[in-house]
Amino acid sequence: MSKNALCIGINDYPGTQNDLAGCVNDANDWAAELGGRGFAVTKMLDQQATHAAMTAAINGLIQGAASGDTLVITYSGHGTWVPDSSGDEPDGRDEALCPWDIGQAGPLLDDQIRQMFLARPAGVRILLLSDSCHSGSVTRGDDEDLDSAHPRARFMPLESWMPGNELPAASARPAHRVGGLKRSGGDLLLAGCLDTQFSWDTSFKGRPNGAFTYYAIKTLRESKPANYDAWFKAIRAYLPSSKLPQEPQILGSAGARRFKVFT
């Protein structure tokens, strides 16, 4: 049995006005954490994370796995959406991750990710950690580590990357944004927020990070959770907060939620 991870972090989105600050740190932090837990880790940062390279890396990770293996994919960057063309989305939108070259290659859709995940060999576990996209209004949690600078949403508006002649009519666009990957097809998805919210790119103690990533790693180290449900509950003690109105999500079967973390 082997443990392999792919950690993706994209701050730089050339040709847009939507660069971020904490995503590369997120990927490096996840790589260090997972490497310390026995994972063989591949990192993809900024220009390395093209659409083609992300697709090839995810496919390679899955196709090279065998029964009993554990795969972890972390993504920190922008999320976006496109109008659903296949009729399989109740909200009429395909959710998507934003590769470095989104302006040329387009987004990596949830449908594409699902197809890659469905190709996994029997007995392979897949965990996807997505710190991207999405706004909310609840106020609780502990944000004393948070710096005072205003955070930035990890959402890429369609106007920033989609050609003008392909943009949906304003009347067809939803009032809220999306960025979850509910239908990814892995065992578990841990996401930074609801798909009607934003995940925030901010800084803690002078260092840029995604809020979800920061508190996920903090609680993993401090509470040493026995399983994914316990880890998720520990994260929810911090998020949402008055300054970070995002509600992390865990999606997966009851059995998968009881898996030991990163085993």
pLDDT tens digits along 60-76 = 999 999 999 999 999 99
**pLDDT (average), residues 245-252:** 89
Percent of the chain at pLDDT above 70?
76
> What's the whole-number average pLDDT of the chain?
84
| Residue 91: φ, ψ to 5° | -90, 0
DSSP alpha helix (H) spans, the chain? 23-35, 51-63, 102-105, 110-118, 211-223, 228-235, 254-257
Q: Which of 7, 23, 78, 134 is catalytic?
A: 78
Domain ranges of the chain: 3-257
pLDDT of residue 182: 52
Question: Does residue 100 carry a pLDDT above 50?
Answer: yes
**Residue 123 region by backbone torsions, left for phi larger than 0, else alpha for psi between -120 and 50, else beta:** left
Question: Does residue 214 carry a pLDDT above 80?
Answer: yes
CA atoms within 13 Å, Cβ hemisphere of 55: 16
| Measured distance CA(62)–CA(65) in Å, rounded | 5
Q: Which CATH architecture does the domain made up of 3-257 adopt?
A: 3-Layer(aba) Sandwich (3.40)
pLDDT of residue 158: 65
Is 78 catalytic? The answer is: yes
Which three-class secondary structure string do you get for 160-193?
A: HCCCHHHCCCHHHCCCCCCCCCCCCCCCEEEECC
**Looking at per-residue confidence, does 93 or 180 come out higher?**
93
CA atoms within 13 Å, Cβ hemisphere of 233: 10
Q: Is 257 helix (H, G, I), strand (E, B) or coil?
A: helix
**Looking at per-residue confidence, does 150 or 222 come out higher?**
222
Q: Which of 98, 133, 134, 193 is catalytic?
A: 133
pLDDT of residue 194: 79
pLDDT of residue 35: 98
pLDDT of residue 199: 87
Q: What is the token pair recorded at 150?
A: 């205003």
Q: What is the token pair recorded at 115?
A: 């197809």
| Measured distance CA(259)–CA(237) in Å, rounded | 21
**pLDDT (average), residues 233-253:** 90
pLDDT tens digits along 106-144 = 999 888 998 999 999 999 999 999 998 632 222 233 455
Least confident of 11-20, 120-129, 147-156, 207-216: 147-156
Least confident of 2-11, 28-37, 129-138, 149-158: 129-138
Contact of 117 with 161, CB cutoff 8 Å? no
| Measured distance CA(47)–CA(186) in Å, rounded | 26
- pTM to 2 decimals? 0.84
Is 133 catalytic? The answer is: yes
Q: Is 60 helix (H, G, I), strand (E, B) or coil?
A: helix
Burial class (CB in 10 A: 0-12, 13-18, 19+), 166: exposed
